[in-house]
Amino acid sequence: MDKKSTWDRFYTEASSRTPAFKNFEWFCGFSSVRDFILPLLQTRSHPDALLQVLDMGCGTSALGPSIYRESALPVRVTCADISPVAVRLMQEHVRVEAFRPDNPSSQIDFVELDCTQLDKRFGSNSLDLIVDKGTTDALLRSKEGVGKATLVLKQCLRVLRSSGSLLQFSDEDPDVRLLWLETAVQEQGVPAAGVGVQEVGVLKGVCYYCYQVTPNM
Ligand SMILES: C[S@@+](CC[C@H](N)C(=O)[O-])C[C@H]1O[C@@H](n2cnc3c(N)ncnc32)[C@H](O)[C@@H]1O
């Protein structure tokens, strides 16, 4: 589940099923996760600065566009995915819909990017928030599994500001995910980092969680 070709095929097939574009949510729409995200976008490091947000493995989800639309403070939301098909579908969708953000200075863009190489696009300590809805789950279920997911976590910690947060939305049980996150964060040598979990809710009988990693608690 980490192969570009697999995801390209998935988004090509999903988009061919309906003539009009429809966002596809792997699980949980924005209304379920909004209250975990928007409170983290209420202060900025500098009065003129845009808050920098990354939706990592955005697919064709409405998550990134919803953050862009609803954030009261100005944000730059980068929606990134390894699948150029998903990226193209989203670029076209946003162009056609011409979304208006609550804050007129907010910006959004969609980029093809392998999240194992975040540092090729983002500088160290440059992002305020990274949201990951189902992407680490997909990486953990791939052949390279934990190794790849750990590499991505390391990249996230590198590009996040010390005041920033990584939110992973997932159905993985806290017994498993927390142990992995705590061990991986320690191995990265980020002694002040904190890891926490909150329940998002139960959807179609599956419980979803929000895991939060903060480089500097
Ligand atoms: C389970 S889907 C979740 C999509 C979306 N976040 C949602 O909630 O519907 C995982 C997404 O991660 C993307 N992905 C997989 N490996 C990736 C990688 N190495 N870098 C960036 N995106 C990746 C896939 O293309 C896919 O869109």
Predicted confidence (pLDDT) per residue in 100-137, tens digit: 899 999 999 999 999 999 999 999 999 999 999 999 99
Counting every residue written for the chain, the total comes to: 217
- Strand pairing of 127-133 and 194-203? unpaired
User: Is the pLDDT score of 2 beyond 70?
Assistant: no
Side chain identity at 210, as an amino acid letter?
A: C
The candidate with the shortest Cα–Cα distance to 29, out of 69, 1, 77, 66, is 66
Minimum mean pLDDT range among 11-20, 40-49, 168-177: 40-49
Distance CA 210, CA 9 (A): 28
In 3D space, the residue among 85, 115, 122, 98 whose CA is nearest the CA of residue 8 turns out to be 85
Average pLDDT rounded to a whole number, residues 182-186: 92
Q: Which atom of ligand 1 is nearest to the CA of 28?
A: 8
The CATH homologous superfamily for domain 4-163 is Vaccinia Virus protein VP39 (3.40.50.150)
Residue boundaries of the structural domains of the chain = 4-163
- pLDDT at 153 exceeding the cut of 80: yes
pTM value?
A: 0.96
Our answer on whether the CB atom of 116 is closer than 6 Å to any ligand 1 atom is yes
- Mean of the pLDDT values across residues 182-195? 86
**Residue 83 DSSP label:** -
Identify the pLDDT of residue 29. Answer: 96
Binding site membership of 167 for ligand 1 (Cβ less than 6 Å): no
